[in-house]
A and B are shown apart, each in its own frame.
Chain A
Amino acid sequence: MRSDRFKKNASDALADPQLQEALEGVRHNFVGARARAAENLSSFEDLRDNARDIKDHVLDHLDLYLEHFEKKVTAQGGHVHWAATAADARQAVLDICRKHDAKTATKGKSMISEEIELNDFLEENGIEPIETDLGEYIIQLREEAPSHIIAPAVHISMEQVREDFRKHHSHLPEDRPMSDPRSLLLEARGILRDKFLSADIGITGANFLVAETGTSVIVTNEGNGDLTQTLPRVHVVLASIEKIVPNLEDMSQILRVLARSATGQEMSVYTTLSSGPRRQDDLDGPEEYHVILLDNGRSSMLGTEFQEMLRCIRCGACMNHCPVYHAVGGHAYGWVYPGPMGSVLTPSLTGIEHSSDLPNASTFCGRCEQVCPVRIPLPKLLRHWREKEFEKHLSPSSHRYNLRLWAFLAKRPRLYRLATSIARSGMRLMSFGSGHIKFLPLAGAWIKHREMPVPESGGFFAQYARRGLGS
């Protein structure tokens, strides 16, 4: 958790040429792909409304659907574990591993696993976690956190991957082909194939939990999730409570906006549904099926101004379209969830005291809300956090003082005009006859990077009044 160092992190990120080059890809690839996908489906906007309505309905009846889901999973021979905190969820995973004397666990991509810091915990307890999503695999080798919720290694260049593979796959011939992405992909695939076959436990996340059928659903592009959950003896699903949808029909509706918003695909390559352990006539599948339902602060968002954030389906569109994310990347945000959705969610789950920069580091350009498939009003929610900070006196005192002074004047038009005319004259004086101001108190940060244009002489109202027009 390094969200309290956002400014420093951002500064480092801006000075990292390799990262800046990688972010160039985010700026262009995701944005264009999503725009084309949205354009190619005439009902896309209606589907977004439906997706929003489905999630709103679920959030209003969350207890009901969660209980139904549990009943259904249990009836199908699976087990549901309720985890109020990250520690509870980690412990639940460990207990299952211990019960089966597990040494290794393969993992499909799961942001909940990142949120509860499962990998470190498993390692501390002698269990080897193996990430099988290619991006997650790469960052696991590098001992880094994901920088994007759907493209965890988006900050890494191919050259870096090549170096990492040379270092970590030292048993492979030195002169093997590594020049193109495909050869690197095949190399990772070869290594992971053995891990899949020997893993004791398979851990996946969930994009949806379907209440009516007791089903957990994952969408992937690599098929690694399927191998993770079908090959080992035990399948453990990590999911947060707001992932629930009433039925398969609702799931299909949301699926239609999910991949389009995320990568611009109509559908992800694999959509995999799991509804319990292997049945008698099944050819494959795990012997045991567990679902760990994580709360970790979410239920306390219900009924508050932040409830709408729980509609989030983790597509990443908000960060893909965010100018701030484009500038600094995901690691700057300091926790699992970057970009606009993270700047709302992180304070909700970890406390605004530790992440006070996040809601402020936004230009309120509104592009996140424009593309959010479930229409979360992200700027509005960020503003709510700013209100909380203002109420709790968490914003810097200098900023509060300036704001109070400005508001005092702005409420008194005559005094305000006097003050602005003095300010205008001062600024004109400080321009020394040029088009811009050389020095200005409070504007040092502006002037460091750009000129401050000099005001025209005489304010609007003074000129207007001189023309004898004032009303």
Chain B
Amino acid sequence: MKEKPVVGLFVTCLVDLFRPSVGFAALKLLEDAGCKVQVPMAQTCCGQPAWNSGDRADTADLACQVIKAFEGFDYVVAPSGSCAGMLKKHYPEVFQQDPSWRERASEFSAKVYELTSFLSDVMNVTRVEADTEADLTYHDSCAGLRELGISAQPRKLLASMPGVSCREMKDCETCCGFGGTFSVKYSEISNSIVSTKTENIRSTGASMLVAGDLGCLLNMAGKLKREGSDIEVRHVAEVLAGMTDNPAIGASGNTKRNS
């Protein structure tokens, strides 16, 4: 029998800070798919806030930290298209002028995957067995969609769940207006963009919004809540892993699902 691939889970700073359950859902999905999963403790953030603020020095320091912590694994998987995009597409750019790290970064980047694409494309998972019941709509987060080509994989996995039905929203590939620090630096513009998005979400009539990036989810959940909507907002990993008993993103601690 072939040995199990060893996967390093890149948890992401937002999952660690806001929603650890997404990390545990990812862990479960990877193990169910036949991987041996490890979580290096020497990880914090991929460095994207520095990279997108033009701070190359801090970006390079953080990228080195991540590469050192993860280069021993067969694969590196993150439950985020944005962070996986940073690790996979941008790390080689970070070290473009640095011959001592350039090759190391490229070798590392080649092993990086976003969670749903890893399950689909590498582990050939076609079915997930969780018994989640959900009438959902799926938002394509920008980095996952455009940097990594993630669109069909999460939809296929969701569609394989007997209790899940998906209604496509209008302009599902349009940005939600999060953009990291953009959402506070240009909060009025961000608000206008997310308002268009939540209108499209609400128009589907779906009772759950699902996406693959916590940043976008916090933004859309925050707006939906402000608008008084009771649409449940969840990370795709939670739904796929059947871990939907905890309160949805932005829902209060004492209202559990289906209660």
Residues of A within 8 A of B (CB): 7, 10-11, 14, 323-324, 326-328, 360-367, 369-370, 380, 383, 385-391, 395, 399, 403-404, 406-407, 409-411, 413, 416, 420, 423-424, 433-436, 442-443, 445-446, 448-456, 458-461, 463-465, 469-471
Q: Is the CB of A383 within 8 A of B52?
A: yes
Whether B151 is near chain A, meaning CB under 8 Å from some CB there, is: no
Partner among B17, B147, B173, B187 whose Cβ is within 8 Å of the Cβ of A445 = B187
Q: Is the CB of A364 within 8 A of B52?
A: yes
Q: Is the CB of A471 within 8 A of B41?
A: yes
Complex interface: chain B residues within 8 A of A449 (CB) = 187-188, 190-191, 194, 223, 226
A360 CA to B186 CA in the complex, in Å?
9
Q: How far is the CB of B215 from chain A (nearest CB, A)?
A: 10
Scan residues 220-237 of chain B and give those whose CB is less than 8 A from a CB of chain A.
Answer: 221-223, 225-226
Whether B101 is near chain A, meaning CB under 8 Å from some CB there, is: no
Complex interface: chain A residues within 8 A of B218 (CB) = 452-453
Q: How far is the CB of B148 from chain A (nearest CB, A)?
A: 11
Q: How far is the CB of B38 from chain A (nearest CB, A)?
A: 5
Q: Is the CB of A403 within 8 A of B49?
A: yes
Partner among A367, A411, A470 whose Cβ is within 8 Å of the Cβ of B142 = A367
Whether B120 is near chain A, meaning CB under 8 Å from some CB there, is: no
Complex interface: chain B residues within 8 A of A448 (CB) = 187, 191
Q: Is the CB of A436 within 8 A of B250?
A: yes
Q: Is the CB of B19 within 8 A of A456?
A: yes
A365 CA to B179 CA in the complex, in Å?
7
Task: Enumerate the 7 nearest inter-chain pairs by beta-carbon distance, A residue then B residue, closest first.
Answer: A363-B179, A386-B54, A450-B222, A390-B54, A453-B250, A365-B175, A460-B20
Complex interface: chain B residues within 8 A of A471 (CB) = 38-41
Partner among A399, A404, A453, A460 whose Cβ is within 8 Å of the Cβ of B181 = A399
Q: Is the CB of B179 within 8 A of A388?
A: no
Q: How far is the CB of B63 from chain A (nearest CB, A)?
A: 11
Partner among B38, B146, B180, B250 whose Cβ is within 8 Å of the Cβ of A366 = B146
Residues of B within 8 A of A (CB): 11, 13, 15-21, 23-24, 38-45, 47, 49-56, 58, 61-62, 65, 93, 142-143, 146-147, 173-175, 177-194, 196, 218-219, 221-223, 225-226, 246-247, 249-255
Q: Is the CB of A461 within 8 A of B17?
A: no
Complex interface: chain B residues within 8 A of A424 (CB) = 17
Complex interface: chain B residues within 8 A of A411 (CB) = 44, 58, 61-62, 65
Known: A436-B222, A450-B223. A367 touches B189 (CB 8 A): no
Can you name 5 A-B pairs with beta carbons within 8 Å?
A: A451-B221, A453-B18, A454-B253, A463-B24, A470-B41
Q: Is the CB of A363 within 8 A of B192?
A: no
Closest chain A residue, CB of each to CB of B26: A460
Partner among A328, A451, A464 whose Cβ is within 8 Å of the Cβ of B39 = A464
Complex interface: chain A residues within 8 A of B183 (CB) = 445-446
Q: Is the CB of A327 within 8 A of B193?
A: yes
Q: Is the CB of B142 within 8 A of A450?
A: no
Complex interface: chain B residues within 8 A of A328 (CB) = 189, 192
Q: Is the CB of B193 within 8 A of A395?
A: no
Q: Is the CB of A395 within 8 A of B53?
A: yes
Q: A369-B146, A403-B49 are in contact. List 13 more A-B contacts (CB 8 A).
A: A14-B188, A327-B192, A360-B182, A363-B193, A366-B147, A436-B225, A450-B222, A453-B222, A456-B19, A456-B21, A460-B16, A465-B41, A469-B39
Complex interface: chain A residues within 8 A of B18 (CB) = 453, 455-456
Known: A327-B192, A453-B18. A435 touches B252 (CB 8 A): yes
Q: Is the CB of A362 within 8 A of B182?
A: yes
